[in-house]
Amino acid sequence: MIGVLHPDLGIGGAERLIVDVASSLERSDVTVLLYTAHHDIKHCFEETVSKGCRVEWVCIRGGWLPGHLFGCFHVLCANVRCAWAAMRMIIENKAIETAIIDQVFLPILIFRLFSRAKVVFYCHYPDKLLATRSSILRRTYRLLFDALEGLTMSLAHQVIVNSVFTSQAYKLAFRHWSSAEPIVLYPSIRMPEELVVRYLRVSQVQNRTCFLSINRFERKKRLHYAIIALKKLRQKLGSLPGHAPYLILGGGYDTRVDENVHHFSELNRRVYTSAMFDFDEVLFLPSISDELKYSVLRESIALLYTPENEHFGITPLEAMAVGRPVIACDSGGPCETIIHESTGLLVKGGAQGFADGMMYLYQNPVEADRMGNNGRQRVEKNFTLTNFSDKLNGIIN
């Protein structure tokens, strides 16, 4: 039996990976239990629900504990909630042989103290490198968690990372701790055929060309760069409304997350109250479904992936899987998935770089299709669930 532990089972990239981990192991005839502190059946991946109910292998433990204290101490609360879930997993399932943990590190210590299970930690990116230290109080607060994170990393039997970029960051962050050499296991995607996707045609997409951006509505994703780049492109083209390309901004949106709500409002104000665009030149699709996402991806010119130094980035693979090129920053994990001028364009991080890439693909549709076809072949060869499952099983066994 294998136990998987994740703090909040929403619809982000980390959650997509954890669901793929559980699904892959299940297909290998392994009994899998996924413990989490939160799972909303109306805001989750389809594999985790069946006939409107939560599937049996998803277990909610620790949800009664607070996720923050007066808007602060999110890291502390996430670790305490998952430590509780880890204890419940150990008590309720004596047969667990391997525990797979991600995002939070305190459960590693719980398993090493109270269980004989092999502990595998999937590191999306070291938490200590993501934390802000803008005040003395915050720096003091982080000292404890930085030390605890380093200690627990050294206690894990195996550490997995999502890219070479993250592997290098991991080694730098924990260079003073004796820990396992991280293994790179790239996240994978389910190919559209496996999803039995019906490529629905959105009426606007049928008659106009569009660029698509899919990301969580967070400031670090730099979605405003896509908006500015579109404005620059339309100014260059000087086309009549209805003929120039437009932009769809879709992605993860959770009303429980203040930043999602606030940044979504900020982007709407930027578009609709600043006279930057006419009403229908930028379309927002929060909490976009898999089916609609693949449909709109299929009909777009290209995907705009605006984060800089992204740890991996699953969305570029989704675009490549349906034969569309990707325009992304030439930094971080996307440099390992996107081949410049073969499956997409890697550009300098500013809005101008994206605008130039958009202009090139808009004016060269044959080239865009060539890159898209190359991208699909690259995904089929390197980033399928089969590849992911085989390597994951090899690591665990």
263 occurs within a structural domain: yes
Average pLDDT over residues 313-325: 92
What's the CA gap between 199 and 197, in Å, rounded?
A: 6
- How many Cα atoms sit within 13 Å of 347 on the Cβ side? 25
Work out how many domains the chain is built from and give that number: 2
Query: For residue 266, which phi and psi values (nearest 5 degrees)?
Result: -60, -45
C-beta atoms surrounding 387 within 10 Å: 15
Report the percent of the chain where pLDDT is more than 90: 54
> Could you tell me if 284 and 333 lie in one domain?
yes
397 occurs within a structural domain: no
Domain's final residue, options 150, 185, 220: 185
C-beta atoms surrounding 132 within 10 Å: 8
Q: Are 280 and 244 in contact (CB under 8 A)?
A: no
Q: Are 312 and 166 in contact (CB under 8 A)?
A: yes
> In angstroms, how far is CA 373 from the centroid of its own chain?
23
The CA angle 357-362-366, to the nearest 5 degrees, is: 105
Nearest C-alpha neighbor of 259 from the set 41, 12, 82, 63: 12
> Could you tell me if 152 and 233 lie in one domain?
no
Average pLDDT over residues 121-133: 90
3-state DSSP: the chain helix, strand, coil percent, rounded to 5? Answer: 45, 15, 35
128 occurs within a structural domain: yes
Q: Quick check: 78 pLDDT over 90? A: yes
Q: Quick check: 223 pLDDT over 50? A: yes
- Band of the pLDDT at 1, cuts 50, 70, 90? very high
> Could you tell me if 10 and 83 lie in one domain?
yes
> Could you tell me if 218 and 335 lie in one domain?
yes
> Could you tell me if 14 and 52 lie in one domain?
yes
> Could you tell me if 244 and 298 lie in one domain?
yes
Q: Are 20 and 388 in contact (CB under 8 A)?
A: yes
> Could you tell me if 216 and 136 lie in one domain?
no
C-beta atoms surrounding 8 within 10 Å: 22
395 occurs within a structural domain: no
390 occurs within a structural domain: no
Domain's final residue, options 185, 213, 240: 185
Identify the pLDDT of residue 200.
37
C-beta atoms surrounding 183 within 10 Å: 16
Q: Are 153 and 174 in contact (CB under 8 A)?
A: yes
- Band of the pLDDT at 62, cuts 50, 70, 90? very high
Identify the pLDDT of residue 376.
93
Identify the pLDDT of residue 201.
42
The CA angle 287-288-292, to the nearest 5 degrees, is: 165
Per-residue pLDDT of 154-186, as tens digits, reads: 999 999 999 999 999 999 999 888 767 899 999
84 occurs within a structural domain: yes
What's the CA gap between 396 and 25, in Å, rounded?
A: 10
Domain's final residue, options 168, 185, 202: 185
Identify the pLDDT of residue 197.
44
Q: Quick check: 239 pLDDT over 70? A: no
What's the CA gap between 341 and 375, in Å, rounded?
A: 11
Q: Quick check: 202 pLDDT over 50? A: no
Domain region containing 70: 2-185
Per-residue pLDDT of 292-304, as tens digits, reads: 888 888 889 999 9
What crossing angle do the helices spanning 106-114 and 74-92 adopt, rounded to 10°? 30
CA-CA-CA-CA torsion sign (39, 41, 42, 44): positive
Give the SS3 label for residue 327: strand
> Could you tell me if 178 and 200 lie in one domain?
no
State pTM to two decimals.
0.85
DSSP state of 340: B
391 occurs within a structural domain: no
> Could you tell me if 250 and 178 lie in one domain?
no
Q: How far apart are the first and last CA of the chain?
A: 12
Residue type, 19: V
List CB contacts of 29: < 8 A, sequence separation 6 or more: none
DSSP state of 212: E
Q: Quick check: 204 pLDDT over 50? A: no
Q: Is 323 left (phi over 0), alpha (psi -120 to 50) or beta?
A: left
> Could you tell me if 89 and 196 lie in one domain?
no
Average pLDDT over residues 349-357: 92
Q: Quick check: 206 pLDDT over 70? A: no
> Could you tell me if 265 and 224 lie in one domain?
yes
Give the SS3 label for residue 249: strand
360 occurs within a structural domain: yes
Residue type, 250: G
> Could you tell me if 215 and 110 lie in one domain?
no
CATH code of the domain in which 249 resides: 3.40.50.2000
What's the CA gap between 347 and 353, in Å, rounded?
A: 5
Give the SS3 label for residue 223: helix
